[in-house]
Amino acid sequence: MSETEVPYQETMGLHHPRSWITRYWFSQDHKVIAVQYGVTAIAVGLVALVLSGLMRIQIGFPGLLPFITPDIYYQAVTMHGMIMVIFLLTAFLLGAFGNFCVPLMLGARDMVFPFVNMLSYHVYLLSVVVLMASYFVPGGPTGAGWTLYPPQAILPGTPGVDWGIVTMLLSLIIFVVAFTMGGLNYLTTILQARTRGMTLMRMPLTVWGIMMATILGLFAFPALFVSAVMMLLDKLVGTSFFMPAIVSFGQPLEHSGGSPLLFQHLFWFFGHPEVYIVALPVFGVVSELISVHSRKNIFGYRMMVWALIAIGALSFVVWAHHMYVAGMHPYFGFFFATTTLIIAVPTAIKVYNWVLTLWKANIKLTIPMLFALAFILTFVVGGLSGLFLGNVIIDVPLSDTYFVVAHFHMVMGVAPILVIFGGIYHWYPKLTGRLLNNTLGHLHFWVTFLGTYAIYYPMHYLGFMGVPRRYYAMGVGSDFYPESAATLNEFITIAALVVGLMQFVFVYNLIASYFRGKPAGSNPWDATTLEWQTPKTPPNHGNWGDTLPVVHRWAYDYSVPGEEQDFVPQNVERKP
C-alpha cells in the first residue's frame, strides 16, 4: 500500500455491538475474538497439562496411581498431544496473536471479514467441545496416539475405538473448517487492508510469520481434512482406504486393499507443515520481542523475511522424514534427508540473526526478553537434535525412542510456548492497559525455563539407550532400561510436576493483574510498531480515531543515530 492510496478500511463500516452478548460473546471485534481464542486455548491447554502430569507420574513412578491403567495412559498420551499441537499452539498463535496483532500492526480497523472471524472462533469452540466430549462418551477418548495411525486407530485393542476415535476425527474436521475461515481472513486482511505506507517490506516480522503460517495452513490442513474423512468412512461405512486385509484377534475383517502408508503420507503432508504453522508465527513474534527489548533493529530484516518464505516452501517437501522406518521405498530416504537438512540453513540464519541482534544492543532484561532468550537456547537444542533425526540413517536407531520425544518437545512444544508466554507478557499491557506482575513473572520464567530444560535435555540421552516412547511400563531388568534410567525418569517427573504447577501461578497472574496490575500507559516498552500508537489503550472498537495512521518507515527504527529517543514509531514522518 503506497503512502497516498486510500486504504479500504478507512471507509468501512463497523458492526458496533448493541448489547452485552454482541460485545463479549458474538463480538466481531478482532481484539475480543483474540481473547476468546486465547482463553479457550489456555483452558484446553490446562487439560493437556494435567494429562501430561498423569503420564509423567506413571513413567516416573509406575503404579503410584493405580487408576492409571494402560488404556487411561494411552488416552492421556493421545489427548495431550492433539490438544497441544492443534487446539493450543495453532489456535493460540493464529487465533489469539493473529487476531490481536494483524489489524493493529497493519493500521487496520479490523479483519476484512469480521463476521467470518466471529464465526471462526465459534466453530473452533465447537471443535474443542466435541474433543472434550470424548471423555464423556462410552469407552472414553481414543488412545491411538496423536498420529492416529490406522489400522490400529479403528480396531479393537486400542482404547476408545467405538466412540472416541469418531469424536476425535469429527473434532479435527470441525477445526479445519474454523481454521480455514480464520486463515482466509488473516491472509486477505494482510494483503488488502494495510494502511497507507505499510508496504509488505515494512511489515513487522510478526505479521510476516502469521501470513506465511496461514498460507501453509491453507495448503496443509486439507490433507488432514481428507485423511480424517477417509478414516471416518473406513470406521463407519466399512471402506478400505487405509485398511488392507487383516486378521484382528483371530477374526478376519471385511477390509482389503487399503494402505496404512497412504494415511501416513497424508497425515505428515499436513503434519510437517503444521510444525511450521506453529514455528513461523513464533519466529515472527520472537523477532519482535528481541528487537523491542534490546532496543536494536532486527538484524538482517530482508534475510529474515526470505528465510520465512524459504522455510515455508521447503516445509512441503520434507514430510516423509517422519516415515524413514515406516516401510516406504528406501530411496525416499535420500531425497527427504537432503531436503530436511537443507531446511536447516534458513532456520540457522534466523537463529544467527536473533543472536546478532543482541550483539552491540542495549538489552533490557524484561520478562518478554527473558522468554525470548530462553527460546533461543531451547530452540537451538531442539533444532540441532532435529539434524540427528533428519539425517535418515541416524533416525534408524533413534526413531520412536525418547530422543524423538525430547526433540519435538524442545523444538515445537517448549520453544513456541516460551514465545507465547513472552508475547503475552509483551502485549498484555496493550490488551488490558495494565502490566503483569513482575515478581510472579520472574518466578514463572525461571521455573518454566530451567524446569523444561532439565526435563527435555537429559531425555534425549534416554533415546540413545533405546528407551522406546509410548511404553506404559518399561519392565524390570531390561537391557535398555537400567536402574539409572528409572532414576532419571523419576527426576524428570518431579521437574515436570513443578513446572506444571507453576503454570497455575501464571494463570493467577493473568487474572489478578487484570484488576490490580500497574497501569501501563499506551507504550510501556517504547516500541515502534503501530499497535503501540493507538489513540486509546486498550484500543476501542475500530482501533483508530477518525483517520488511519500513515506509515513512513519500517518497523525497527530503534537507536537510530541522530534521533532524540531510542525509538521512532512507524507513523512518524521522516525528517526532510
Partner 1 sequence: MWVAAALLVVVVGSVAFNFLTPWWFGEVASNWGSIDDTVLLTFWVCGVVFILVGLLLVFSVYKYRFRQGARAQYEPENTRLELWLTVGTTLGVVAMLGPGLFVWDEFIRVPADATEMEVFGEQWRWRYRLPGTDGKLGTTDIGNISTRNPFGLNDDDPNGLDDVLIQSAEIHIPVNVPVKALLRSKDVLHDFFVPQFRAKMDLVPGMVTYFWFTPTKLGEFEILCAEYCGSSHYLMRGVVHVDRPKEYELWLQSQPTYAEMIAGSRPSSRDITTGRNVAETNGCLACHSLDGSQVVGPTWQGLWGRSERLVDGSVVTVDEAYVRESIINPSVKIVDGFAPVMLSYDLPESDIQALLAFVRSTEGGVAGTDRIPECKDC
Alpha carbon 267 to its chain centroid, in Å, reads: 17
Q: Which residue in the set 211, 266, 285, 462 belongs to the binding site for partner 1 (CB under 8 A)?
A: 462
CA triple 399-349-553, angle to 5 deg: 135
> Which one among 19, 67, 138, 393 touches partner 1, defined by CB under 8 A?
393
Q: How far is the CB of 377 from partner 1 (least distance, A)?
A: 6
129 binds partner 1, rule: CB under 8 A: no
Any contact of residue 67 with partner 1 (CB under 8 A)?
Answer: no
Closest approach, Cβ 141 to partner 1, in A, equals 14
Nearer to partner 1, 10 or 526 (CB): 526
Cα–Cα distance measured from residue 83 to residue 303, given in angstroms and rounded to the nearest whole number: 33
Residue from 6, 65, 200, 248 that binds partner 1 (CB under 8 A)? 248
Closest CB to partner 1 among residues 480, 504 = 480
Candidate residues 16, 470, 518, 536; the one interacting with partner 1 per rule CB under 8 A = 470
Question: Cα dist. 13→9, 87, 100, 113, 114 in Å?
Answer: 8, 32, 19, 11, 11
Q: In terms of CB distance, is 186 or 403 closer to partner 1? A: 403
Phi/psi at 273 (5° precision): -55, -30
Stretch binding partner 1 (CB under 8 A), from 21-29, 149-157, 231-239, 534-542: 149-157
Amino acid identity of residue 339, one-letter, is T
311 touching partner 1, by CB under 8 A: no
**Is 484 or 547 the residue whose CB approaches partner 1 more closely?**
484
Restricting to residues 316-335, which ones interact with partner 1 according to CB under 8 A?
A: 325-327, 330-331, 333-334
Which of positions 189-218 make contact with partner 1 (CB under 8 A)?
none
Task: Restricting to residues 408-427, name those near partner 1 by CB under 8 A.
Answer: none
> Burial, 396: exposed, middle or buried (Cβ in 10 Å; 0-12, 13-18, 19+)?
exposed
Least Cβ distance, residue 170 to partner 1 (angstroms): 22
Minimum Å gap between C-beta 384 and partner 1 is 4
- Asked if 150 and 243 count as a contact pair (C-beta separation under 8 A), the reply is yes
Number of residues counted as binding partner 1 (CB under 8 A) = 112
Q: Which three cell numbers stand for residue 494?
A: 518431579
Give whichever of 248 and 540 is closer to partner 1, judged by the CB atom: 248
Q: Where is 502: in which H helix or E strand?
A: helix 483-516
Residue 149 binds partner 1 (CB under 8 A): yes
For residue 451, what is its C-alpha cell?
Answer: 524446569
Q: Residue 198 Cβ, how far from partner 1 at the closest point, in Å?
A: 18
The closest of 37, 35, 38, 65 to 50, measured between CA atoms, is: 65
Q: Does 116 bind partner 1 (CB under 8 A)?
A: no
- CA dihedral 184→188→190→192, nearest 10 degrees, is 180
Please return the burial class of 131, using the count of CB atoms within 10 Å of its CB with bins 0-12, 13-18 and 19+.
buried
Pairing of strands 247-248, 251-252: antiparallel
Mapped onto helix, strand or coil, the DSSP state of residue 210 is helix
Scanning 294-314, the segments in alpha helix (DSSP H) are 301-314
Residue 132, CB half-sphere, CA atoms under 13 Å: how many?
15
Kindly tell me which residue out of 39, 345, 501, 512 binds partner 1, with binding defined by CB under 8 A: 345
Nearer to partner 1, 151 or 197 (CB): 151
Contact 102, 31 (CB under 8 A): no
Work out which of 24, 136, 464, 504 binds partner 1, going by CB under 8 A: 464
Give yes or no for residue 296 binding partner 1 (CB under 8 A): yes
Spatial separation of the C-alpha atoms in residues 43 and 88, rounded to whole Å: 9
Q: Compute the least distance from the CB of residue 111 to partner 1, in Å.
A: 31
C-alpha cell at 190: 494482510
Q: How far is the CB of 479 from partner 1 (least distance, A)?
A: 5
Among 10, 12, 71, 538, binds partner 1 (CB under 8 A): 71
140 by DSSP, 3-state: which?
A: coil
Binding of residue 19 to partner 1 (CB under 8 A): no
Distance CA 496, CA 451 (A): 7
In the bound complex, what is the minimum distance in angstroms from residue 77's beta carbon to partner 1?
9
Question: What CA dihedral angle connects 8, 91, 407 and 294, to 10 degrees?
Answer: 50
Task: Note whether 68 binds partner 1 by CB under 8 A.
Answer: no
The one-letter code for the residue type at 573 is E
C-beta of 332: minimal distance to partner 1 in Å?
10
Number of neighbours of residue 330 by Cβ within 10 angstroms: 9
Nearer to partner 1, 119 or 370 (CB): 370
566 binds partner 1 (CB under 8 A): yes
- The 253-292 contact track toward partner 1, x by CB under 8 A, reads ----xxxxx-------------------------------
Q: Which is nearer to partner 1, 362 or 540 (CB)?
A: 362
Residue from 294, 513, 533, 543 in contact with partner 1 (CB under 8 A): 294
Sites for partner 1 among residues 506-565 (CB under 8 A): 556, 558-561
Residue 553 near residue 570, CB atoms below 8 Å: yes
Does 572 participate in binding partner 1 (rule CB under 8 A)? no
Single out the segment in contact with partner 1 by CB under 8 A; choices: 120-128, 229-237, 423-431, 476-484. Answer: 476-484
Does residue 465 interact with partner 1 by CB under 8 A?
yes
Among 98, 107, 114, 159, binds partner 1 (CB under 8 A): 159
69 contacts partner 1 (rule: CB under 8 A): yes
| Contacting residue, 2, 4, 247, 576, with partner 1 by CB under 8 A | 247
3-state secondary structure 156-193: CCCCCCCCHHHHHHHHHHHHHHHHHHHHHHHHHHHHHC
22, 188, 192, 338: residue in contact with partner 1 (rule CB under 8 A): 338
In angstroms, how far apart are the furthest CA atoms of the chain?
A: 84
Which residues, at least 6 apart from 486, have a Cβ–Cβ distance to it below 8 Å?
474
Does residue number 504 form part of the binding site for partner 1 (CB under 8 A)?
no
Kind plus residue range of the DSSP H or E element containing 11: none
